[in-house]
Amino acid sequence: MKKFGLIVIGGGSGLKVSSKAAEHGLKVAVIEKGPLGGTCLNRGCIPSKILLHTADIAETINGSGKFGINSKITKIRFSEIIKRASNIVDKEAKEIEQAIISDKNTTLYKTGAKFIGNKLVKVGNETITAKKIVIAAGTRPFAPPIPGLKEAGYITSDEALRLKKQPKTMTIIGGGYIGCELAHFFGSLGTKVTILEFIDGLLANEDSEISKKFTEIFSKKHSVCTGYKASKVEKSNVKYVVYAERDGKIKKIVSDELLVAVGRIPNTDTLNATASGIKTSKRGYIEVNDFMETNVKGIWALGDIAGKWFFKHSANLEAECVYNNIFSKKKRVNYEAMPHAIFTSPQIAGVGMREQDLQEKKIPCSKGYCNYKSTGMGQALQEKDGFVKILADKKGKILGCHIIGPDASALIQEVVVAMKAGSGTVQDIINSVHPHPALTEAVQRAALNVE
């Protein structure tokens, strides 16, 4: 049995811990069955955003008429679009793998990991151990128990990002951010998309006003069926048939492709984590404290498998904290002002509490709004729907901010900086000079409009 100073399970954000440990002379084992770089690089953030930028370009061309420019798309070279994204991520994944292999203090195991005892990990035909273990093995797409789904076949986001042929029609089960981002990609390139969402609204985890406005806008672009539950799936020749039910009524949806995007589940079952005595929640996530420690001394967990936040930037934050807690000064993870962004059209971004959270907790707040169209740049963009919404307490402390519209993912950062590095009040934004005419003025005016 081979002993290491540190074992890291997962080749995503866990590499931030393994690389630093190796730099300081520790013998490290990295276990990753798939390509290096984790979900974000290979099956998530990076390839999807490359494809979504293509969708944004297509939408700009298709909407050029309102700016007095007549243009049209004459051909979609779909396989080239997919190949470009795949080549970029595959190249980077390979470079990461080569860097690990060439490191004298790191041993890479290109296989699955399975706990077989207390800090005993089976890798292929070998068993390895270490006093310190970091679990960063992530999650995988979840397939709901819909009758006929398994038999009919389907794709998840993993396959959708590598699809070689563009479908003419597509049914997407799930109206969360993954389903909506992929609907934007395929729909903008000409695929007729139908979205089925059990809840009465898309992006239900967003601020309620954002979710409502987004559902309204997206329903004009795609066939959106909210409040519908997929009750049965069939395969008829080469077509997928989904039966969706609402209030006893059945809707039959036929398409060339079926995408399931209803969430993800942690990989703790494949790891057999309980064999090492590691406690998991009812949903299978590894239970950790504020220091990312599990109940087993010397074992930490980070990223999606820990079930705290589900972003690459939060996983990186946790990885930095885990490294410090293992090798330096112990401190809690600070999730204050954790932002997120959804790269649909329109874009969505948010930080802090939603209005419904404040209502549920009976926390009084003041609201400040600014519509994009009331700014000079908003008028230039002919943006009719976008807005910035800031929630603050009576003293002006920012409790949350939610944005829908062009560049929302960039605009949110000013609020994050104010909440995290400034006084945390709207005055940080109000007192800052903003370039005119830029969309950032919408953020400043929303702050000014807080009651």
Catalytic residue set:
436
Six-digit token string for 17 = 């811990």
CA-CA distance, 228 to 230, in Å (whole number)? 7
Reported as type and span, the H/E element at residue 109 is: strand 106-109
3-class SS at 79?
helix
Which tokens go with 153?
């076949």
Measured distance CA(159)–CA(258) in Å, rounded: 11
Angle (deg, nearest 10), helices 177-188 and 208-221: 30
The pair of structure tokens assigned to 369 is 């709004």
Ramachandran region, residue 277 (left: φ > 0; alpha: ψ -120 to 50; beta: rest) = left
Write the single-letter amino acid at 333.
Answer: V
- What gap in Å lies between CA 354 and CA 36, rounded to an integer? 35
How far from 395 is each of 132, 369, 424, CA to CA, in Å? 46, 17, 10
Dist. CA 233–CA 152, nearest whole Å: 7
Whether the Cβ atoms of residue 397 and residue 425 lie closer than 8 Å to each other: yes
Question: Which runs of consecutive H residues, i.e. helices, occur in 78-191?
Answer: 78-102, 149-152, 157-160, 177-188
**Which amino acid appears at position 410 of this protein?**
A
Phi, psi of 148 (to 5 degrees): 85, -10
H/E stretch holding 226 reads strand 223-226
Q: Nearest 10 degrees: CA dihedral of 314, 94, 114, 259?
A: 70
* H or E element at residue 97: helix 78-102
